[in-house]
Structure 1
């Protein structure tokens, strides 16, 4: 029997090389850390072929990066044995040629050492290269195998150690806020730099750099020290290892400009130690408690153990919490039922969806089984189902409460707060991540079927969470099937599903593309403010794409100084890739995440979406024609959406 394959993010990496080599010839290719997974990919030949393909893409992109600090990702998700890879050079590596040379050195070491291992990473002075058999770009930035490398040669000057620690502390605080998540600085005879992988974001970068900052703290008074982790790198030295023009002023990126964060790091370490002891005591307490008989859980799911199904609430309690389902408590109306705001007895605020679905005992059993399944879906970009209650044919679903409501209210003028470009882009990425989880990462594949802006909710920090997933029928194991139960909003729904009933995960990809255009344009799908001959947003976007004028679609409320025109244009092109007529041409949502998080040129250009199709019977409707011939009368998707 084949061995169970686990991605390196799920198992400890074997650190097989971690020695510092004196920088004689080229310090940029000094090996600092090399790790390989303990598990081999199968079939090995297919995996190595996919890995070689991703490495070729990485090298091509790094070679054409136009300078140092190159970053690239590549993926072969549809291969017989999928491969995902990432490479990044330090921002001070001189030129694309040097960046590519560093990549070559790292890739060569990985091939020689890791063989067919299903994951590995090589960290050099000048670059990092990492690969896995599963998508890891959205994973944790710190993993087992993080280490420090000190050169063992002490500096005689007694002030050097303090200066090194001070500058390292400031870099750990400043780099997450600096452009490109990287910073280099020189102060008091110390030269230092810090960098995070671009995909981890500001929060992930801050968490990651906290680890190297602690590790490198043990190097001074040594004259040179490095610390590495899966998603970040840090180095200091008494000699310059980057050009003078690579430094930046750290003050604007520090909470307390000019002050070292080393003292805070020490305090944090002490607090961390105390927390560790408390966790140990809690673990001991939990071990003893777990031996006691478990009581049925009721009422407060927010304190419940993960992955144990929904909590059973009392129907009468939820009825009271919603003021008897009053209009004053109503948050909105959806295709599956009305939603109410509820205040539980413990003070928690939740959202309650009221459904009438259980006409028969079989329907009730099926629905309870589905509710149990989706209650185990846990992702930061998916609204969590907390519990349920039932009475007769009525079912109440209890969800976490989203204070900022739905996305459409911010996009289309019902909310006074305008979303800036950073918020909009984060929402787009969050939606993509949530859908990728439903399609490819949860143990049962779930297709939402009704992706639209009103089904995207925003938390207190405007992070997106997709709602109403799993309430439509789950997709079977095959890739597509014909469904007689249409569950979507025409216009947001892909033509093959709206007209022919053909369902696949690419239906959600299509809806994601349409919503992305709404987010960027600040306009509804069928906005009357558009040109008279282009009332449908997707059609207008395509015309602008053909005219090489996509920027015309951008919401006028956005400040042009606050966004990069090329980034916005590229995001719209990705949206158009998602709305292509040919189902097979649309990317998987995991591929969309990769495209959004990288600055590489799109490998494929979008093709024209379907605006007009032959009259077909929409499932549940009566055909307007006795023939399905394409020569018959046509109907536009924008007209369908208005029915």
Structure 2
């Protein structure tokens, strides 16, 4: 069976760093060919997942260490029905850094076969297999098949070159550590060729490798006249194409690998440092916000204490205590008086009377100054409307201030005490002051009663 794997979007905060890393690696390494060709899962279910899963993970970790140095790895973990045999191998034209990338992709996909005990995955650059029994010497099986491209049909000249290249690769690989790459030009063309890669798993001997590639070549030649074909066999992989998919042969592989390792290490360190700095900044910011919230909680506790202590007085009580609100007993003034005054002048169209005389606006013959002040008052009233949903956001208010020619909606009433409330037709009695059963508490009309800042 064949599965497709959806791509995972990259976080935007790391996009620039990731792009830079990929551009630098593109200079130093070739194409890892990590595209999946086929994944096949067995049909036997695991016996005990608490044993099987750790064994599988341990085998994959073991193979990872080997792949970083040799491009090939085998591992055996556990015993009994839940043991794990694993194999991973990159094709012979891949560099070690490319090999690690290809294997990482294969390793992330193969666990999809769980809870089955076996699975194998072919990528264009590497192969991976895991099973609960040994398969290291297997080179043929019922699942061997050809995977043909069906986009373009080629003429007889290409077919002849492709057949020659396939047979040559099948012949050369067994005596060349199981790997061969062949390019055969197409007769009668200027720059067209047939490209072939063949690769046997390194657990096979020369005889088994040859038998596997002979079977693979028979399968893959059945893809002609199509422009591309792959043989996915138990013990080997083969591919032909009319496009050059082979990575260039490295003349100084060891030096190049060292340079690549250094670059990857340095850039990875920078990425880790940046991520750490971002996490540290947001942690600090979160702690600062929580500290402020703790202060707000203290205010809430104080308010609750005052409320529990029944420091809520009736209007009649306050009137008697202050001598009918004599100015001599006045300690201070809240902000709603100013808002109420501005609202009244706005309703009457006499906002100019609300201006501070110290501004001496009468000295300015240009009406734009007064219009600016009127606009500021208008926006202030919009920001103090009783319905919170009607109040503009800070960013929108800023736009209103900057765009002086923009239309301003008419404000609605601010949440100050209105005339009806001033009559104090109480609806219920304060249990702390049951002095007059005929009177009741005033109705609160303020829409915001939270102690958190907006």
The TM-score bracket by the shorter chain reads 0.3 to 0.5
Q: Which one has the bigger strand percentage?
A: 1
Considering only CA atoms, is the larger Rg found in Structure 1 or Structure 2? 2
Please, what TM-score do these two structures have when normalized by structure 2? 0.46
